[in-house]
Structure 1
């Protein structure tokens, strides 16, 4: 059975995913068979494994760092928000259903055997499992029934590293306060602190590190410098989604839908010195960009209504008439047609009508890896591969040719 170490954080955005990926790579380089594990992830960015199962992108990246193919057992439960208090629950890579926050909270215990089975199978195949927590272990209102932080650590008897983010300030309060809210048994699991995202002179930090260790009895194991690692973000807390302007040659405006999904599709644009990406959620901020991108959505009909309420629907139409190109991806592409509808509920909404097509949403979705080849242009003949997460059937509905 594998040994395990668990990375928990003082908050979302502390850097748990990056530290977990780094440990996976370090242990691999040291010759250990290593795998990542996160019992429950909440994200609208997801990955499809080779066998067509859906899992968190962070665990896919961590798997590659460990030299492994992404495996849905590394993230047995994935929650994808579909409303203010509702999420699609994906268990073992397949949709289990949609549940309200309270209903899911009440059913979590039923998922423990599924989580432990996935963990134990990985542990039998590896030397080390690097486990990632979620949010903060100090959410004392959620302590009962916890399956992702200290509750999971107890189930698998994991030692814990606690990561704090110094970049916004207050890291000593983060770490001290988190430990102070843990039970005595939980505190004993914390074997060390990691101060993440540090900029500046470490010598000026050392007195604080010594005092923190003295106050808590827990050593500071390391200070990780701030780095722009270019690892894909896993949720809507990404700092990039707040970018309102840029100074690059080509202006790309991505519509920041409330239920935007897989927005990491646009990360390659950020790596270009000529392409500037900004995220727009107000009609007055759209302007006349070179390209408008309507991205994928986890709730396409509701996001289309949001565009209309915010005035962005009319603003996009006007910008298109004034020369802006418009690109729809996944749910955004479905919005470009005439109509979106869901027969089961009777819900429907009129789209942009750029194309003579309509989309019908049916139960279930398609998840698979795909390969293709450029048929024309400067990349003709080049092979590409990716994956598809697709809901709805889009069909031609015009009178003439497409």
Structure 2
């Protein structure tokens, strides 16, 4: 049976995902065959595996840190919020329908437990170490009866638990003590250590608090992890956009991304922000778009709702004015759909509206359908012409996650040619580039992960601004791997790894 360790938190966004990523890397470095696992994830940032299954983005980063290809068993249940306390439920990578929070928690979650158990067994048969991430807090008494992600999993596996508190937000000691107090005795016994995360300052000033915590709870403090800035690792969900908004980065190129209420897969833009000459700014509600060098409409879990938001908030007028003035605009997935003339929803997959007028910047129309397209794709670009670039690229990588078919009202210039989907050869034209080369839409997520293509776009923007092109191509995968190593080094240096290995039975 595989060894296990589980990370739970006193609340959401305390650092469970990133510390799970760190442990995956540490165990890999220590020669273990390690795999991440999260039974149920709620996130709008998702990814498509090689088999076409959809999982949470956090498990993708954890898999990469563990030296693995992501697979659906790492995150057997994914909930993608659609609005009005409703989520699309994805089981083993495939959507099974939309459910209200009440329907899911009281009627379905325990039915999904069998799939969770099967996934765990499959991973346990293949790996010698499983690093398990919890969700939210294990002490949510109103949810515990139907919980399939926290203490139910820990008790099922008798997995040792590390309880994480975020000291940066304040109240960490009370959060730890209160969480332990609300656990049942057998659950509390599984907690083998406490981690204080995101610490800033002099550790000597914290020592009295740590001693109090150990005396009060009877649990050892397994580590105090410093606050880590600019990790260069994909974020799980839009709550982390608040941190990005506070980064204050300035650079020669400013890219504005509209932060819509149902924004999804904003990790598409992390490679842009990692470039030294680029600052990505997320436009919050009420903020003006300004005069960016590039405007991006991101993916959306509810394109109709986000399009109505842009219209009601006055952003539609700004977008059209910027486009008319020559500001380049890119729409990805839902953003691509918004750029067209009309969106039809005959089956009411997103709303009660039969149709909605688009922004009218591309001569396309989209019809929503119940079937979801999820593929990893290989694609090429033959002198696409966006921003006037003559870039030619083959074997570029990306992935599709969308519901709906976009067709063209007149002959158009396509952005990319998809040559394979989920490993099967195809010849499919994707996306549109406007006649003037300033507007582009595509269904391909991760397009800016392709280093040479990204640099070609950015250098075209530089030329447009009268700046000298950089030319040098940043290797984003090499940078990401270095980020995992840096994270592991910091966490290893501030965590009692002897304690961790001991509670795991090593």
TM-score, with length taken from structure 1: 0.95
Alignment of 1:134-213 (within 5 A): 134-213=135-214
Distance 1:372 1:234 in 2: 26
Distance 1:168 1:283 in 2: 25
* Structure 1 residues 387 and 25: alpha-carbon distance in aligned structure 2, compared to 1, 3 A threshold: same
Task: Pick from 387, 391, 399 the counterpart of residue 387 of structure 1.
Answer: 399
Give how far 1:32 is off: 1.8
Q: Quote the residue 2:253 is aligned against.
A: 250
SS of structure 2 residue aligned to 1:340:
strand
Q: In angstroms, what is the RMSD of aligned CA positions?
A: 1.8
1:318 aligns with 2:318: no
Q: Quote the residue 1:16 is aligned against.
A: 16
Q: Deviations over 1:43-77 (max 9, x none)?
A: 01111111111111111111121122111101000
CA contact 1:244–1:278 (8 Å) conserved in 2:
no
Distance 1:201 1:303 in 2: 44
Distance 1:242 1:83 in 2: 23
CA contact 1:283–1:312 (8 Å) conserved in 2:
no
CA contact 1:257–1:303 (8 Å) conserved in 2:
yes
| Count of residue pairs the alignment pairs up | 401
Q: Quote the residue 2:266 is aligned against.
A: 263
CA contact 1:145–1:151 (8 Å) conserved in 2:
no
Alignment of 1:1-400 (within 5 A): 1-106=1-106, 107-228=108-229, 229-238=231-240, 239-240=242-243, 242-243=245-246, 246-282=249-285, 285-345=288-348, 347-376=354-383, 377=389, 380-381=392-393, 383-398=395-410
SS of structure 2 residue aligned to 1:333:
helix
Give how far 1:184 is off: 1.5
TM-score, with length taken from structure 2: 0.76
Give how far 1:244 is off: 9.2
* Structure 1 residues 284 and 152: alpha-carbon distance in aligned structure 2, compared to 1, 3 A threshold: closer
CA contact 1:81–1:88 (8 Å) conserved in 2:
yes
Task: Give 5+ residue unaligned stretches, structure 1.
Answer: none
CA contact 1:161–1:194 (8 Å) conserved in 2:
yes
CA contact 1:164–1:195 (8 Å) conserved in 2:
yes
Q: Quote the residue 2:453 is aligned against.
A: none
* Structure 1 residues 401 and 274: alpha-carbon distance in aligned structure 2, compared to 1, 3 A threshold: closer
CA contact 1:14–1:196 (8 Å) conserved in 2:
yes
Distance 2:82 2:99 in 1: 9
Q: Deviations over 1:316-356 (max 9, x none)?
A: 11222233222111110111110001111362100011122
